[in-house]
Structures are given as C-alpha cells and as structure tokens.
Amino acid sequence: MSVTQDEWNTGYADGRRYRQLGDRERSLLATHFPAPADGKALDVGCGVGELAAHLSSLGYHVDAVDWSDNALAEATAQHENAARWLRLDIELDDWTPLHTDGYDIIILRFVYPFLKHRDRTMRALGSRLRPGAAIVVITPLAADTPAERRGIALDEDELARLGAGWSTVERHDAEGLAFVVLRGPQPAEAKPLPGPSADHTRYAPAGVRDATPASRQHHFTLRERYYAQVESGRKTIEVRVGTPGKAAVETGDTIVFREPDSGRELDIVARRITPYGSFEELLDAEDPARIDPDSTREEQLANLRRIYPPDKEALGALAFEFDHRPGRPGHTMPMPPAEYVRTVPHHTVYGCRA
C-alpha cells in the first residue's frame, strides 16, 4: 500500500490513529526482549510515540523515526525525552542520524505493509542488528481485515516472503495481530523468496547492496503500442530475457518505460519477477492477456522469438509483473490528449455543467 507523506501528515492532523499497544504485545516484548545493558531500540514508523515510550520504560535507549512532522510533534509533546525523535523516510533518506553501532531490537509496528521496497529495506535494517538481535514486525492479518482496509494488512503469502532470508522466524498471536520475530539475516542469495506458485514463481535474487536504501531505477525501452497498453492500465506484465541488467532488477524497484519515438516516459513498481527456462514455459504459466492484450499466445511467442534469437532466449525468460503505482512520486508524466482519446474506454462518458 502506497501512502504519501502529505496523506500521513493530514491523517495525524485529523486525529487518525492505529490501535493502541495491547497487553499481549507488551507481554511478548517483556518476555522475549528484556533490555540488555546499554540496549538500543529502533522504532520504525513511530507515529505518536506510544511504542517508543514503552520501549524506553523497559530500559532501552530508543531511536524513534517517522516521516510525519505532525506525528513527531505529538510524540515529542507527550513523551518528551523517552526517545530521540527523528524525522526520516526509512526507505529513501540518509541513515546518518541512526546509531552506527547497531540495535538490539528493531520494530516495525503497522509499518511493513506500507513499505514500497520491502525486501531491500528489511535487508538494510538487518545490517543494523547487533549480534543476537532481532527485527519484530507487528501487523494486522488480511484474513481478519475488511476489504476496504486490505492495504494495511499482510496475507499468508506476504508473511512467508517476510520470513525468507532469515535464520529463524517466530510468529506469535497478539490479540489478532501477527507478532513476527526475525533473527539471523542471511545474504539475499541464500534463500529464494517464495511466491504464490510453488511450481513457477520465485522472486528475483538480489546482490548485496549498500546498507542504506536508495531509490533504484531501471530503464526499459518500450514500443509505442506496448507503452500505450501500460499507460491505459491494460498491460501489467513485461517480458525480457535474463541479461545481467535485467536480472539485477529487484522486487520493489522502479522500472521506467521509455517510448523512443516520442521520448515519453512512465514509471511503475516491480511487484514480482519470475524466471522461466523459455518463452513457451513463461506463456504457459502467465496470462498472455496481461502481457499483450491485443494478440494471441501464438502471436506473442512468434514475436518474442523474432526479437530474441535462441542464444538470448537461452539466458532465460523473465516476467516482470507490475501495478500502476508511480515509482517516482511527484514525477508527472501527462498523457498527450491524442493518446488519451485513444486509450480511454469508449463507453466512458463525462458531463460538464456551467
């Protein structure tokens, strides 16, 4: 789920809050995470500071970060010296304000579902753990969350992906919330991330990156026909071969599609990257209508093999699934009027009154 900084600020100003820290959460923290000497805790997405203040009461020196000025102002007013209150976008900002000697516990409470670059951010946070330390993710469950609020929760597939790449994963129930404890971060290549299909889907392996997350962009050239399909929301999977550049794309990365004739660009976020042994295998597993809604499976196979000779197909085929969230928020890319007329469904009717 993607929410802008302005939306967060407005929500806090309007009094919007998540549920208060429960007794079960407090008990789990006290039982599993007694504060060691000089123990340090990092509260990611601290909001108005209730969890940070509780960690302080357990004996931790707390860094509490959020990107909402309104939330941090309220946290400071209510809890004063309970923590170092830091304005920080954990995914994009420089981590210089954080302790370089690491943390004994890092907590993301009602935060993980909102991360755009989940895998990379969790690896980066894992690099800030002290020996024997843990990351705790506290989240609502999709099965217990109304459909209109699905974006704040995780389903079982997402919880499985969360636990990939860690030596041990413990899950506790906290009065309906999942309380997930992650210990022992492993290199990204050590364990492939599970996907929704045990036969085909796995998430792209990623090389070791810098500890501080930064926006990663990859540029794909896209012919006008396919560019228009993406722009109108009809195309949601792009197929490429596994060259080093394409294999380096990670889930959560930004892909910028560029139409070479006009120079237009639009950006999306890679949700899933699935490798296949051949184009035929890919087209058998994926929905061809999401790749090119204006051609048949047979036409797509012929076209792919016309573009990529056998030695390129031998590198493996990659299916890049994306939604239409912008990968570069605030980077406007208006659709030209002529293109808008061609792509808006013909049954759509607009009316204006003077």
- Quick: pLDDT tens for 18-43: 778 999 999 999 999 999 999 999 99
pLDDT digits (tens, 9 = 90+) for 95-111: 989 998 999 999 999 99
Q: Rounded to an integer, what distance in angstroms lies between the CA atom of residue 163 and that of residue 183?
A: 9
In residues, how long is the chain?
A: 354
Beta-ladder partners of 320: 238, 273
CA terminus-to-terminus distance, the chain = 37
**Do residues 201 and 272 lie in contact, with contact meaning Cβ atoms separated by under 8 Å?**
yes
Number of structural domains, the chain? Answer: 2
Classify residue 83: in a domain, yes or no: yes
Window from 1-5, 9-13, 56-60, 304-308 with minimum mean pLDDT: 1-5
Kindly indicate the confidence band of residue 247, based on its pLDDT and cuts at 50, 70 and 90.
Answer: confident
The two structure tokens encoding residue 26? 């407090």
Classify residue 206: in a domain, yes or no: no
Q: Are residues 158 and 244 in the same domain?
A: no
- What CATH number did the domain enclosing 237 receive? 2.30.130.30
CA–CA–CA angle 150, 153, 157 (5° rounding)? 100
Per DSSP, the residues of 10-30 read HHHHTT--PPPPPHHHHHHHH
> Residue 169: pLDDT above 60?
yes
The two structure tokens encoding residue 34? 């007694």
The domain in which residue 30 lies consists of: 5-190
Q: Rounded to an integer, what distance in angstroms lies between the CA atom of residue 219 and that of residue 249?
A: 10
Report, as an integer, the average pLDDT of 75-100.
91
Q: Are residues 156 and 305 in the same domain?
A: no
pLDDT digits (tens, 9 = 90+) for 310-354: 989 999 999 999 876 665 554 544 455 554 445 444 444 444 444
Q: Rounded to an integer, what distance in angstroms lies between the CA atom of residue 281 and that of residue 276?
A: 6
Q: Are residues 20 and 167 in the same domain?
A: yes
pTM above 0.75, yes or no: no
**Do residues 4 and 329 lie in contact, with contact meaning Cβ atoms separated by under 8 Å?**
yes
Burial (CB count within 10 angstroms: exposed 0-12, middle 13-18, buried 19+), residue 75? buried
Q: Rounded to an integer, what distance in angstroms lies between the CA atom of residue 282 and that of residue 295?
A: 16
- What CATH number did the domain enclosing 120 receive? 3.40.50.150
Q: Rounded to an integer, what distance in angstroms lies between the CA atom of residue 114 and that of residue 1?
A: 5
Q: Are residues 179 and 320 in the same domain?
A: no
Sheet of 40-44: strands edge to edge?
Answer: 84-87, 61-66, 40-44, 103-109, 129-140, 177-185, 166-174
Classify residue 205: in a domain, yes or no: no
Classify residue 209: in a domain, yes or no: no
pLDDT digits (tens, 9 = 90+) for 190-214: 334 333 333 334 343 333 333 334 4
CA–CA–CA angle 243, 245, 248 (5° rounding)? 105
